């Protein structure tokens, strides 16, 4: 019987956001999905007409689109916004105030479907059959005009009711392309080089391959999208053979882009008949300082059950002194339970030769241990 990951329990602020319609659960834990902000941009002239002084408007508000402002004390996202001062959701809201007849596509739509990473540094893409095409949807070029949106014609056969949703409780008439269409548009953006981000180098994979697989992994976590829906949405946008290859490299369960990179690094390291799995829950015995024992559970980011090898990717919160001490104790307890564990952090991943050597040694030890047991 599988263990239930406590990460799927919703903290109070997330449960409240879900009741308000600002959070929609996906396949992954709550922290893999974006929570929509509750602040909204305002049209400059309306602020002035309401009695706010020109001085206050000029000093206490940021421009997020031409003639559309946001209070400077608005909470900022922790994600990289590139050339922009505010997240993709705020910028999309601002552009839709100016162009309410348009449909939001691309990375802005992906943000509304819960994608946390990469979208905040991307330009806004609006789709319309009434507003003339204009602006650039290439990140590097669009950054020169951060208050503008790119406008493109709606795709052939696009159905407003079938192919859009209205996910924003603050802007209930704002139409956003469906999750499969948003993913297809973002994949095309990545594979064409219009939008990318920094990744590690992994043998046998191009930079765009890695970005595309990270995107697929993240979208699988923040939504409930299926491979069938992805294939249908990508028809005519991406080649079938290329998409099949990328989907084969993707796997549900990666809770961060670094976890995807770790899996891609080790994808071919196991002997035949052994496989990697993500988010593998195991129980172990912890001995307390007063001599008692208790059962604990942990979830490996990546593990091979048959060889009893577990891999963790330790993010920033593992750098805390108390967390580091708990990680050390857990490592010893897991070893007592005959698990071979390798912990990887950003520094170790930046030295792939050393990281892969350590993992290879762990695999070799596990193979020897299994042979001895048989």
What pLDDT sits at residue 320?
59
The 10s digit of each residue's pLDDT in 72-108 is: 888 777 888 999 999 999 999 999 999 999 999 999 9
Domain of 318?
Answer: 269-373
What pLDDT sits at residue 2?
63
Domain end position, chosen among 217, 249, 281: 249
The 10s digit of each residue's pLDDT in 324-372 is: 566 666 777 777 667 899 999 999 999 999 999 999 999 999 999 888 8
What pLDDT sits at residue 322?
61
For all residues of the chain together, what is the average pLDDT?
91
**Is the domain of 54 the same as that of 105?**
yes
**Is the domain of 218 the same as that of 305?**
no
**pLDDT of 317 over the 60 cut:** no
Percent of the chain with pLDDT over 90: 78
| The pair of three-digit structure tokens given for residue 287, joined into one six-digit string | 């001995």
Q: Which residues contact 125 (CB under 8 A, 6 or more apart)?
A: 104, 105, 106, 107, 108, 109, 137, 149, 150, 151, 152, 185
**Is the domain of 236 the same as that of 138?**
yes
**pLDDT of 283 over the 70 cut:** yes
Paired strand residues for 43:
68
**Is the domain of 219 the same as that of 290?**
no
For residue 164, is it within any domain? yes
In the chain, how many domains are there?
Answer: 2
**Is the domain of 146 the same as that of 202?**
yes
**pLDDT of 319 over the 60 cut:** no
User: Could you tell me the pTM of the whole model?
Assistant: 0.92
For residue 288, is it within any domain? yes
For residue 135, is it within any domain? yes
**pLDDT of 174 over the 70 cut:** yes
**Is the domain of 232 the same as that of 277?**
no
For residue 11, is it within any domain? no
Backbone angles phi, psi at 274, to 5 degrees: -110, 145
**pLDDT of 286 over the 90 cut:** no
Question: What's the pLDDT band for 145 if we cut at 50, 70, 90?
Answer: very high
Give the range among 121-135, 169-183, 335-349 with minimum mean pLDDT.
Answer: 335-349
Q: Which of 278, 223, 280 is nearest to 254 (CA)?
A: 278
What pLDDT sits at residue 5?
79
């Amino acid at each position: 019987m599988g263990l239930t990951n406590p990460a799927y329990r919703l903290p109070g602020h997330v449960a409240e956001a879900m009741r308000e319609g600002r959070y929609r659960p996906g396949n992954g834990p709550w922290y893999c999905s974006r929570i929509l902000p509750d602040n909204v941009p305002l049209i400059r002239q309306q602020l002035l007409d309401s009695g706010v002084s020109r001085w206050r408007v000029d000093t206490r508000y940021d421009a997020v689109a031409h003639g559309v402002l946001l209070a400077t004390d608005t909470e900022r996202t922790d994600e990289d916004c590139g050339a922009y001062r505010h997240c993709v959701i705020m910028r999309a809201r601002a552009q839709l105030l100016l162009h309410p007849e348009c449909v939001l596509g691309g990375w802005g739509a992906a943000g509304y479907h819960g994608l946390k990473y990469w979208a905040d540094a991307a330009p806004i893409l609006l789709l319309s059959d009434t507003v003339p095409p204009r602006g650039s949807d290439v990140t590097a070029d669009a950054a020169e005009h951060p208050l503008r949106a790119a406008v493109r014609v709606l795709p052939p056969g696009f159905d407003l009711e079938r192919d859009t949703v209205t996910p924003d409780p603050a802007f209930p008439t704002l139409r956003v392309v469906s999750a499969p269409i948003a993913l297809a548009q973002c994949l095309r953006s990545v594979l064409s080089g219009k939008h990318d981000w920094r990744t590690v180098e992994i043998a046998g994979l191009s930079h765009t391959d890695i970005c595309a697989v990270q995107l697929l992994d993240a979208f699988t976590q923040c939504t409930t999208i299926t491979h069938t829906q992805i294939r249908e949405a990508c028809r005519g946008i991406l080649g079938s053979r290329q998409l099949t290859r990328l989907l084969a490299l993707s796997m549900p369960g990666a809770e961060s882009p670094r976890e995807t990179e770790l899996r891609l690094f080790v994808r071919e390291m196991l002997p035949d008949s052994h496989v990697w799995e993500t988010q593998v829950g195991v129980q172990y015995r912890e001995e307390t300082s007063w001599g008692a024992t208790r059962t604990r559970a942990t979830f490996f980011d990546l593990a091979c059950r048959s060889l009893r090898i577990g891999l963790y990717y330790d993010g920033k919160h593992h750098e805390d002194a108390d967390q580091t001490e708990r990680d050390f104790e857990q490592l010893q307890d897991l070893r007592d339970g005959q698990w071979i564990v390798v912990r990887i952090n950003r520094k170790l991943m930046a030295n792939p030769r050393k990281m892969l050597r350590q993992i290879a040694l762990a695999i070799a030890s596990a193979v020897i241990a299994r042979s001895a047991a048989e």
